[in-house]
Structure 1
Amino acid sequence: MKSLKNTISTLILFSIVMVSIIIGVMSMISFHDIKIKSVEHSQQQVIKQVKSQAKNLLHKIEKVANYAIKNYKNDDNLLKNIVELNSDISSILILDKNGKLTNFYAKLNDHIYKGFDYSNKAFYKSVRGFDKSSWSNVFFSSVDNKPSISYSLRKENEILVVILRLDMFSNFITKFQNSDDSHMIKILDENGIFIFNPDYKNLVNQRFNAKNSSIYNDLINKKKEYSLATFKTANSNGNNFGMYTKLDKTGWTIVIRESYDLVLKTLRSFLILVFFVVIIFILFMLYLVFKLFRNIFNQFDYLQETTKNISNGDYSKKIKDSNFKEISELVKSFEKMKMQVNNREKHLKNSRDSFEFLFNSTMEAIVIHDTNHCIDVNDVTLKLVGANSKEEVKGRNILDFIAEPSIDTVKRKVLKDTLPYEVQMKKLNGELFTALIQGKFVELNSRRLKISNIVDITELKNKDKLIFQQSKMVSMGEMIGNIAHQWRQPLSSISTAASGIKIEKEFGILDDESLESSLSMIIKNTKYLSKTIDDFRNFFKVDKEKEILNINCVIENALKLLESSFKNHYIEVKKEFSQNLFIKGYTNELTQALINIINNSKDALKEISDENKLIEICTYLEDSKVVISIKDNAGGINENVKPKIFEPYFTTKHQKQGTGIGLYMTHQIIVDHMNGRIDVENINFEYKNSEFKGCEFKIYFDYIETT
């Protein structure tokens, strides 16, 4: 059997050597990383400065272009002053809607003339459609046959084109140079063609495309903006360090680079120095260890035995003190550690017991899981999913408990902290139920896990369905009353016509003309009765899917159903509709919501004695929202009860008149079913030269553009 001392000695010596080597290697790597970070930081500062300068240039040109096109009225002096005062601009062109040159000013104008057709140029095509402004890629200017870029701006039937001189911006870029006198900055347009390349200007003149070069393959296509990468530049075999950024307006790519070989050269001398320092450190540590090892080994033997007892859970044995100060401090530390470990074990046990008690005492189901599988559940969860033991749930995929329609929703929500959201779940026996889930990620046992709270809301959902059905039945009762009112006059006309035919027949005075007139009236009234039935039947159809609705048509249909009731109670309905207002929603549900609001106004107006009874309905567009305004002059709502009017079963009417579910269902339909908003307030307004106080409901929906 090997000697323990020899084994430990060998291990310690080996550890010293390895640690020293690792420290040396890490120092070298650390310095290398520091150098690279330094290069990265300096390049980021430079490229951000260049990007800022480029953005300022673009902004300046756009500002000049907007000024020019706003103030241009065939004024040659304006164009001249702009070009002469802005060194970045080589020329300004004014094109008509067909792309023909109507006016221009250029510092060199040997190659252009009025009437020239530019309709095939990119700077014209880019703003011919819906875009009002556009930056071009690099092209050879017809003015001076030099690589140029342009900014086009369209206003009505005129297009202003500002052509830029690239050499002025190039003067700024060439200021940034590396230690080998090479230039740091290169710029490419969105097609990969060099705009600026001070080291190889011929590539700019040749409009060299770098899409297939290392700049794209190893940098732009692989890395994010401001991320350092190694790549080769065009016409160069040497490696480069560099990064890039993009200009959003023009799609330009700004690339900064520095010679990778020069960076490595500065590192070599330091790395050699670090290597020798590590060797000296290893030799010194070996000498020091051999010097001290003999004096402390005996104490280590004793400590080894004692700590072995502690690791076995024996905290009763006291560690003997040592004659060596360092070992004595170590002994005291071990003694303190022994007490702390003992106390912490007791505390952890109590904490675990408390957590398990709280975990199983909540009214909510709690599931601890990762993004795929259940780790632990409380007792409420077992009852919720119909399991007899935790083993039936632990380790299972969380999607096993989610119904098919909600799987996609849970897959999205499970990856992040969530507010409460509604899903369909299923028990182990396949029974479905509706639940509300809220989850948050925590760190447990060095693992990122999610704690999800689950509440069964099936009973609440069933209650909502019942309330909705009650609201529908109330509406049905009111509609039947309206049918009776609307049928009374047509039925009376039919009865009168039939009696007239019978009497004329008995007296022998019935002729064909009289018979045809009476029958036509009977047919006309029966068609009206049939249409009334269709209107009411359509109102009670169930909407299955959202559709594009003309909001004015929905309001008209609702008013048609209530028309006779307005006449019976002498209520004037005033309408002010804006045209072409479309939303996405459910026709019949929205009709019911509107009827509920209008009926509330009607019932309030029935209680007042004033002869002028008004319901005013307006529709209009406001901040991309379709607004429906319904107001009356019935005196308004008591401010104390106004916050409660959308609560279920709340009503200020007599029990025979109201159930308290109409406005609650209106709120449910508008807010929950159709993602809208409803507000209510008391208002004062003038009607027929009199001041009135009333209530105004405002409903807001997202506006849908449609052809």
Structure 2
Amino acid sequence: MKTKKTFPLSTINSILIITFLSVVIFPISFWTYMNFQKNMERNFDDLFVQSKNIADILLEQEVTSLEKSSKEMTEYLQKLYKNKSKKIKFDSPLVDDVDIAFIIQKDEVMDLSTSYFDTTYLIKNINYQSAGAHVSVFHVEQKGENYLILLKESKIINYENGQVIANLFVGNILNDDFGFLNKIKERANLKEVSLYVNGKYIASTQEKDQLKYSFDELSNSILKKENAIYAKKRLTFFHQDDNIDLVLLLDNQMLKKIKNDFFNQLIVLFLIILIIAVASYFIIRAIILNPLENLLEFASKVREDKNAVYEESFIDEFNIISLGLENIIGSLRDVEERYRLAVDGTKEGLWDWDIETGKVFYSQQYEEMLGYNANEIKGTLKSWQESIHPDCKEDALKKMKAHLKQETPYYEAEYQMRCKDGSYKWVRVRAKALYNNNIAYRMVGFHLDIEHIKLLEKKSKEQESVMTQQSKMAAIGEMINNISHQWRQPLSIISTVATGIKLKLEYDIFDKEEAIKELELLNTTSQNLSGIIDQFRDLAIESRNKEDFDSAVVLDKSLGLVESSFKELDIKLHQKLEHKQLHVYKNQLIQVVLNIVNNAKDAVAKLPKNELKLIFVETSTVDGYFTIRIYDNGGGVEEGMKESLYEPYMTSKHESQGTGLGLYTVKEIINKQFDGTVQNQTIKFVYDNHAYVGEEFLIQFK
């Protein structure tokens, strides 16, 4: 695993300050810029609104002047009226104050204009019928030229009869010599002013071919283009159908001044933040970093020197932390010393495996256990793997993988390890892994030298084998005794029949048919003897493989071997056997049953002659377990003997009558070869309306 790159705290502090500057200054600058843009646009909009208001004022002045001229000319014409049939004649300098003046009398148009415009064409194309008492605006196009005309209508009235003699129309052209637009430009301090009607260019303070925009670009109220800011404002002073727009251009010097003011403010802001950041660096270093470095230095010293002293800081929290560190590190130091003493004092070898790096720490005891000197074994997992005996390696690694996958709570195993001299030694290992997100990252364990335990186990197995053989020989001896009982009657029959045939031959009274019957009896008796020998032979031969057999059939035949000896002792053997197909060691099962039955025989044989002697053998299947129940009425085992009943060489008989290995062998066979259990208890039971007390043995296995 790669080691992470580290940095000093001062470097991190500098990086944090730079990051702070980057994170704070740029967003603030951006925010300031955006606010500047908004404020600038707002200021521009206010400026353009102000310019539009100036235009409205100037337009109102134009209207006022036109109304005045219209009034004066109307009054003058009223005085010229002689009679209703006489035509009005106008000859006054008042007409010079307007661009257009004409009279409509009885559908005749009289042009009174004195301006240089083609008033005849303009009057013809003015829709003066829509003019009214209020000033109206009209757009007229002539030979590619566009004119915007303010027109005022007045009525010439005969005061005698109240009839209208004529209609007077006076008007001014707004784009006459750009006077109206220039006034707006000067008063609003604008660089350029243009006039449009229904999107058509009318006039401008700038030459048309020098305009750097198109009217279509002014879809929004403000247009920024080539370091210039344009605004379109609609004139709403008149109630006209045409859209009359002013396009205003801000002075570049004013725009530059606004931008310069913004950048100056931004520089000042940056300097303020920079000063704050630098001041913060030194303040943080003085208040936090220096005390923290002293704290870390103290933590390093106090680990080795319990008398190390911390130079107190003016910050209470650091002083409190120093006390906590001193206590914690002191406790860790004590734990480390106790751990070292514990490891040094124990006979177990410690190993610590860092799974992520692959490095393994082996304690001195671990190495000495295998005959090595300190630090002689390489600190790798491979060293451990190579030292395991080939016969044990697969099982050891399999168990370790299972534990690393969290399939077992601990890693426990026993295996042989190669020592420095090439010999192998048995060790027992117990370890546990630590996990992070279900992935093992560390594993610590101990090795215990169990070579002496394995030697004791070997001796114990040899002794156990001897005791098993002794038990078997005792069972065979018991079997021979039973065989002798079994053979008495058949041998007596053979002897009687043979003697009878001999006497009949001697006295010449031999009957062939009767002799055949007697010879058949001899043959049957011999076959029975042969069967008894086969049973004895089967029991004497040790079975190393499991066999399939009917439990009732095998146990019935086996119990038949002791039937004769039981009859001689007047013992009643009761059998209640379930037919169950078993797959176990047959001879070992027979040996177990006969051992317990013979013990029961010895127990009931001690009863007085006039008392009933009973032994019961029952088999059944309970919860999937094959169960053998053997009990008697011999009074039970004494309480003082129950705890040691299954110990080897434990017997209640005389030394000449028993080896004390019967029940020990029973338990060893059932526990180890049948993976079952054997239990006993003293019970009370009723048989034939009589109560009895005896010992019950219960054997169970799958």
The TM-score, its normalising length taken from structure 2, stands at 0.50
Question: Is the radius of gyration larger for structure 1 or structure 2?
Answer: 2
The TM-score, its normalising length taken from structure 1, stands at 0.50
